[in-house]
């Protein structure tokens, strides 16, 4: 089949439009607005919510088109959302051209995966490459994530996905031959061990350049918590200086182009409140491979309402993590921990930061559970790094906290990252109390996390929950169980309404 | 756990905003714009792309919030997209209140389904109810559809989904005790039998009130094609009058609130280019149950590039269709047809309408394959309806065409629907030719449909493909194989680029 094609110069098809910055914030997708009677829209056959290619000079982005009536926009203008404006590097007076998004070859791979066929490395590379380049709509990304959950990714696919994700970004390397790293699969509110582990390990002269994420489905990610104590959004050159000087850092990895496809997918995962093992392993390990890690400890909390709910589920995740890490030459040690209840007292960025400071400062009422977990994880890394004999890592870590070396190192890291700050305090609080005397017989991590999120965490750093009881504690009638912290009346109301509807988030077995 | 809740009056939390109509067309989702420094946004903790509840008086919708900087919008204004404005029934000067979307109970059912657990009728009812009410984002709808494809819906789920979809809308009833209906599962370009079947069956005095859909993933739905011949968007009262007078109609079912959740899901299916058996059966049968059908013939084209590709796939679909139809008391007969190539000559609304008119008018070059299929389907209904002896339906249908009764009935139906019109003709055309002499050895329905869609079908009614050859035809070098019809230069270019990249859509076996 051949076409005696009439060639049009590119410009005749893509008449330029005057770009207009609309200062509309559309986080997930670039958005462009056109008059519904625009001659370009008509010539290109562009309807509302068409996916389009917007080009300016050599730069090109995919955006979603909305049509607008009336005088707000000129006939020869294209209105651009903030992310579209910045991605294209536009200035006032620039022009853009708009046409249909080209068909994506990777969509047929996506379609095969949706229908239950496995994808090979090449197909996964195409899908992930298009996702990283912003060519997928959120609906398509969500569909890919769902298909990989309903028919779980197998080992080959997880390796392929990890490699594809690494390939979309940059890879760091470090002068040290041994680069340590630490990860927690999450799901346990308040389990903020990372800053402590980094401080302890770096205090021994080991290299631990920790890049952390913000919350996906939790009320706080390590980067959210750390940000209440020091800047975490550093350019790579500055991170290198911090690590060179202090051996460790705790920074946000999201702006570093380490596995950038992961960041795009995480936004959609967040809106679907969805994670699966293969995706989780690829997300964790693609970041670690890209960050140049050689040795890794992974905390897997196990409990009925944690992310990993049973020993068999932990077995599956652990097997996948070890196999995939091994195939990338990373030595990974997995530590399973008690996931039945939150760790420490605070849930939410600033409240968790307060717990960290109390442990580093050896305060009398510092949460013992958070200290113990951090030292177990740090101990494994100290042993891997040859700073403690086998079996002696935990004690070494505890000593490093007790004698103030960890505190000194943590302050030095914060200063190197741009200066230590005081975590904010929420203006609004509300105590939730025991409805009767009894014993705390259950704490629902998931609904507790939801409660903290409804209160505004992590977007509002001071928002969250402060826990006053732990499992098996005896309580009096009306004794405070926890306190909701919020920055706005609307969010406090919203959290309270949820707490009223879920009185068993902290369950009391009556006397 | 109890909260000594400080109650705020609803108004203190939900400060009213002045509603401003922005005349932005967002087809899928209602959109609301707020200044990023809006005090209400701050008090409610609303970030960009938050899902919010917008209320005006007793009406309430779910919308996606975008934040806007600068002077375009006042501090106490909420800008609303057209669909949000209309759904709320707003007038200039009205106020609205905005707050976070309440958590949806059905999201945990969705989550269970994504993780591979089956849903019962109650859970499906919750999910579908929320989808029909517009409470799901497109990402969530896409995720539900994907999960039901990757782990296919089983019989129980398909029945549950069908019932849930029927329950979201209205149900029609008709004076006749026997109400005939017809459906094609699609996937075959140009297979536009419905208007012919309705004309033939109604000509015999039977009742066939046909509500049709617009295209989902094809270049034309029956409603799109019929719309080039007569109005199809009629209020129910008018449809009743048409059916009362003529026994039959061919109208668009989308505005009738028959299984409205289906319409919402179809929009997302369309953007994902996705259909699965269970979803397809629920979509078909929920419309039929809601439309009051008692007897149904279903055309399943089978071919390597049709929607149903093999006999086993057809068996599965047929089994599911018959079982689910039976459980709703509908007698369904399935007819499997040749799905190896397009039917008729035209692909796209107006080009297909032209084929219909040539058959109804007994024109000499009218496409024989389309006539034959229509008469086989109509024959089954004539036999079901007692208007032809068993085995004699096909001949009876052919006679009804040949003697002009079908033509007369079709014209009468068009007039009753609001007046017969002439299908439009595309201003731009481009012939695709054989690259060498040989024999047509393959026609790829899917890519041909894609080509027609790239040319602008069905949004542009005159756009599409006109086929000049069929399978096994001998062709000369440079002989026309098909002609692309388009309404805009951009779309013609786009289709041509696709044709150049896919020269084997119509494959020639050289001599």
For B317-370, the DSSP string reads: HHHHHHHHHHHTT-EEEEEEEE-SS-SSSEESHHHHHHHHHHHHTT-TTS-HHH
Report d(CA A301, CA A309) in Å as an integer. 8
In this predicted structure, the answer to whether residue A9 has a pLDDT above a threshold of 70 is no
What DSSP designation does B308 have?
Answer: B
A177 burial (CB, 10 Å; 0-12 / 13-18 / 19+) is exposed
- Residues near B71 by beta carbon (within 8 Å), at least 6 away in sequence: none
Secondary structure (3-state) at A110: helix
* A42 band by pLDDT with thresholds 50, 70 and 90: low
For A130-134, A224-228, A474-478, B320-324, which range has the lowest pLDDT when averaged over its residues? A130-134
Sign of the torsion formed by the C-alpha atoms of A109, A114, A119 and A122: positive
**Is B4 in contact with A143 (Cβ distance < 8 A)?**
no
- Residues near A368 by beta carbon (within 8 Å), at least 6 away in sequence: none
Chain A CB contacts of B31 below 8 Å: 66
For A114-118, B258-262, B362-366, which range has the lowest pLDDT when averaged over its residues? B258-262
Segment A262-280, tens digit of pLDDT: 888 988 887 788 888 999 9
Given this model, what pLDDT does residue A48 score? 72
Report d(CA B160, CA B122) in Å as an integer. 8
Report d(CA A420, CA A412) in Å as an integer. 9
Residues pairing with A308 in the sheet: A302
In this predicted structure, the answer to whether residue A5 has a pLDDT above a threshold of 50 is no
Report d(CA A78, CA A65) in Å as an integer. 10
What DSSP designation does A427 have?
Answer: S
Interface probe with B: pick from A45, A148, A219, most Cβ of B within 10 Å = A45
Report d(CA A220, CA A499) in Å as an integer. 19
Nearest 5°: CA angle at A441, between A455 and A274? 45
In this predicted structure, the answer to whether residue A12 has a pLDDT above a threshold of 80 is no
Report d(CA B102, CA B92) in Å as an integer. 27
Nearest to B412 by CA among B250, B300, B175, B193: B250
Q: How far is CA B241 from CA B236, B409, B414, in A?
A: 9, 15, 13
For A64-78, A384-398, B155-169, B442-456, which range has the lowest pLDDT when averaged over its residues? A64-78
The percent of residues in chain A predicted with pLDDT above 90, rounded, is 70
Answer with the residue of higher pLDDT: B23 or A414.
A414
Segment B384-411, tens digit of pLDDT: 999 999 999 999 999 999 999 999 999 9
| CB neighbours of residue B70 within 10 Å | 12
Q: For residue B272, give the nearest of A1, A72, A139 by CB distance.
A: A139
Interface probe with A: pick from B478, B487, B493, most Cβ of A within 10 Å = B493
Mean pLDDT of B12-27: 72
**Is A115 in contact with B150 (Cβ distance < 8 A)?**
yes
Given this model, what pLDDT does residue A10 score? 38
ipTM over 0.85: no
Residues pairing with A54 in the sheet: A61, A98
Q: State how far residue B195 is from chain A, nearest Cα, in angstroms.
A: 28
Q: For residue B49, give the nearest of A13, A28, A140 by CB distance.
A: A28
Given this model, what pLDDT does residue B38 score? 80
Segment B123-178, tens digit of pLDDT: 999 999 999 988 888 889 999 999 999 999 999 999 999 999 999 999 999 999 99
Pair of tokens at residue B83:
């669909």
Look at strands A295-302 and A331-338 and give their pairing: parallel
Contact A229, A421 (CB under 8 A): yes
In this predicted structure, the answer to whether residue A4 has a pLDDT above a threshold of 80 is no
Q: For residue B500, give the nearest of A3, A27, A450 by CB distance.
A: A3
Q: For residue A273, give the nearest of B111, B145, B146 by CB distance.
A: B111
In this predicted structure, the answer to whether residue B256 has a pLDDT above a threshold of 90 is no
**How many residue pairs bridge chain A and chain B with CB atoms within 8 Å of each other?**
252
**Is B146 in contact with A151 (Cβ distance < 8 A)?**
no
Segment B418-464, tens digit of pLDDT: 999 999 999 999 999 999 999 999 999 989 998 998 898 998 999 99
Given this model, what pLDDT does residue A27 score? 61
Mean pLDDT of B260-284: 87
Given this model, what pLDDT does residue A276 score? 86
Count of positions (residues) in chain A: 511
Q: For residue B3, give the nearest of A23, A42, A432 by CB distance.
A: A432
B390 burial (CB, 10 Å; 0-12 / 13-18 / 19+) is exposed
Chain A CB contacts of B273 below 8 Å: 107, 111
**Is A498 in contact with B22 (Cβ distance < 8 A)?**
no
Q: Which helix (H) or strand (E) holds B508?
A: strand B506-510
**Is A49 in contact with B26 (Cβ distance < 8 A)?**
yes
Q: State how far residue B488 is from chain A, nearest Cα, in angstroms.
A: 5
Which residue of chain A has the CA closest to B110? A272
Q: How far is CA B77 from CA A488, B18, B98, in A?
A: 20, 5, 11
Half-sphere exposure of A323 (CA within 13 A, CB side): 15
Pair of tokens at residue B470:
């069929």
Given this model, what pLDDT does residue B15 score? 61
Pair of tokens at residue A31:
């958005």
Given this model, what pLDDT does residue B3 score? 59
Contact B24, A500 (CB under 8 A): no
Interface probe with A: pick from B2, B80, B111, B436, most Cβ of A within 10 Å = B2
Chain B CB contacts of A115 below 8 Å: 149-150, 276
Report d(CA B113, CA A5) in Å as an integer. 48
Compute the CA torsion angle B196, B200, B201, B205 (nearest 10 deg).
140
Q: For residue B48, give the nearest of A26, A268, A493 by CB distance.
A: A26
Given this model, what pLDDT does residue B28 score? 60
Given this model, what pLDDT does residue A7 score? 40
Nearest to B196 by CA among B445, B387, B458, B376: B376
Report d(CA B317, CA B314) in Å as an integer. 5
Interface probe with B: pick from A114, A430, A482, most Cβ of B within 10 Å = A114
| CB neighbours of residue B57 within 10 Å | 11
Q: What is the mean pLDDT of chain B?
A: 91
Chain A CB contacts of B42 below 8 Å: 488
**Is A25 in contact with B115 (Cβ distance < 8 A)?**
no
Given this model, what pLDDT does residue A20 score? 85
Residue A93, Ramachandran bin (φ over 0: left; ψ between -120 and 50: alpha; else beta) = left
Q: For residue A47, give the nearest of B47, B433, B459 by CB distance.
A: B459
Half-sphere exposure of A362 (CA within 13 A, CB side): 11
**Is A27 in contact with B45 (Cβ distance < 8 A)?**
no
* A134 band by pLDDT with thresholds 50, 70 and 90: confident
Report d(CA B303, CA B69) in Å as an integer. 54
For A278-287, B46-55, B90-99, B125-134, which range has the lowest pLDDT when averaged over its residues? B46-55
* A255 band by pLDDT with thresholds 50, 70 and 90: confident
The percent of residues in chain A predicted with pLDDT above 70, rounded, is 96
**Is A139 in contact with B27 (Cβ distance < 8 A)?**
no
Given this model, what pLDDT does residue A14 score? 47
Segment A435-462, tens digit of pLDDT: 999 999 999 998 999 899 889 899 899 9
Half-sphere exposure of A403 (CA within 13 A, CB side): 10
Pair of tokens at residue A330:
């990373």
**Is A142 in contact with B140 (Cβ distance < 8 A)?**
yes
Given this model, what pLDDT does residue B10 score? 38
* B45 band by pLDDT with thresholds 50, 70 and 90: low
Pair of tokens at residue A49:
């919510």
Report d(CA B7, CA A72) in Å as an integer. 42
Report residue A364 CA to chain centroid gap: 32
Chain A CB contacts of B482 below 8 Å: 1
Contact A454, A494 (CB under 8 A): yes
**Is A503 in contact with B99 (Cβ distance < 8 A)?**
no
Chain A CB contacts of B481 below 8 Å: 1
Backbone torsions φ then ψ of A32, nearest 5 degrees: -130, 140
Report d(CA A174, CA B346) in Å as an integer. 64
In this predicted structure, the answer to whether residue A8 has a pLDDT above a threshold of 60 is no
Report d(CA A54, CA B487) in Å as an integer. 22
In this predicted structure, the answer to whether residue A51 has a pLDDT above a threshold of 90 is no
Answer with the residue of higher pLDDT: A57 or B250.
B250
Contact B182, B223 (CB under 8 A): no
Nearest 5°: CA angle at B277, between B374 and B353? 30
Residue with tokens 């679909």: B317
Contact B207, B414 (CB under 8 A): no
Residue B364, Ramachandran bin (φ over 0: left; ψ between -120 and 50: alpha; else beta) = alpha
Residue B23, Ramachandran bin (φ over 0: left; ψ between -120 and 50: alpha; else beta) = left
Contact A358, A350 (CB under 8 A): no
**Is A143 in contact with B140 (Cβ distance < 8 A)?**
no
Look at strands B2-3 and B331-338 and give their pairing: unpaired
* A43 band by pLDDT with thresholds 50, 70 and 90: low
Residue with tokens 């080992």: A155
Provide Rg for chain A, Cα atoms.
25
Given this model, what pLDDT does residue B11 score? 34
Pair of tokens at residue B479:
């002989």
Report d(CA A491, CA A495) in Å as an integer. 6
B363 burial (CB, 10 Å; 0-12 / 13-18 / 19+) is exposed
Report d(CA A59, CA A294) in Å as an integer. 36
Which residue of chain A has the CA closest to B480? A1
Report d(CA A453, CA A435) in Å as an integer. 23
Pair of tokens at residue A56:
């300016």
Compute the CA torsion angle A88, A92, A96, A98 (nearest 10 deg).
90
């Amino acid at each position: 089949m051949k076409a005696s094609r009439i060639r049009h110069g590119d410009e005749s098809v893509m008449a330029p439009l005057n770009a207009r910055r609309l200062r509309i914030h559309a986080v997930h997708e670039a958005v462009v607005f056109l008059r519904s009677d625009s001659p370009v829209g008509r010539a290109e056959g562009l309807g509302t919510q068409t996916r389009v290619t917007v080009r300016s000079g050599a730069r090109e982005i995919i955006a979603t088109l909305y049509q607008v009536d009336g005088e707000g926009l000129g006939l020869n203008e294209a209105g651009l959302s903030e992310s579209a404006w910045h991605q294209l590097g536009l200035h006032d007076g620039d022009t853009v051209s708009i046409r249909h998004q080209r068909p994506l070859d990777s969509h047929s791979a996506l379609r095969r995966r949706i229908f239950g066929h496995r994808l090979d490395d090449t197909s996964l590379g195409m899908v992930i490459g298009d996702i990283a380049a912003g060519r997928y709509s959120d609906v398509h990304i969500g569909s890919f994530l769902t298909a990989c959950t309903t028919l779980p990714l197998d080992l080959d696919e997880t390796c392929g996905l990890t490699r594809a994700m690494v390939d979309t970004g940059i890879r760091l390397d470090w002068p040290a031959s041994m680069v340590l790293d630490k990860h927690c699969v999450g799901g346990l509110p308040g389990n903020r061990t990372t800053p402590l582990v980094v401080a302890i390990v770096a205090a021994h002269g080991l290299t631990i350049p920790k890049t952390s994420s913000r919350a996906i489905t939790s009320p706080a990610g390590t980067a959210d918590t750390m940000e209440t104590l020091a800047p975490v959004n550093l350019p790579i050159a500055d991170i290198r200086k911090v690590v060179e000087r202090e051996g460790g850092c705790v920074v946000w990895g999201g702006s570093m182009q380490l596995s950038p496809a992961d960041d795009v997918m995480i936004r959609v995962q967040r809106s679907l409140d969805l994670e699966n093992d293969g995706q989780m392993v690829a997300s964790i390990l693609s970041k670690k491979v890209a960050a140049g890690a050689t040795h890794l400890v992974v905390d897997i909390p196990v409990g009925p309402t944690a992310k990993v709910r049973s020993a068999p589920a932990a077995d599956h995740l652990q097997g996948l993590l070890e196999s995939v890490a091994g195939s990338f030459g990373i030595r990974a040690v997995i530590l399973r921990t008690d996931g039945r209840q939150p760790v420490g007292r605070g849930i939410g960025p600033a409240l968790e930061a307060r717990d960290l400071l109390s442990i580093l400062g050896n305060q009398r009422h510092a949460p013992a559970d958070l200290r113990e977990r951090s030292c177990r994880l740090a101990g494994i890394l100290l042993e891997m790094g040859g700073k403690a004999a086998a079996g002696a890592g935990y004690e070494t870590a505890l000593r490093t906290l007790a004698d103030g070396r960890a505190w000194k190192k943590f302050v030095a890291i914060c200063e190197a990252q741009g200066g230590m700050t005081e975590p904010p305090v929420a203006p609004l609080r509300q105590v939730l109390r025991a409805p009767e005397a009894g014993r705390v017989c259950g704490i629902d991590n998931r609904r507790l996390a939801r409660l903290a999120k409804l209160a505004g965490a992590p977007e509002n750093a001071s928002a969250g929950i402060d826990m006053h009881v732990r499992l098996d504690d005896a309580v009096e009638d009306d004794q405070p169980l926890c306190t909701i912290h919020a920055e706005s009346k609307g969010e406090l109301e919203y959290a309270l309404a949820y707490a009223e509807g879920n009185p068993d988030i902290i369950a009391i077995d009556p006397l």
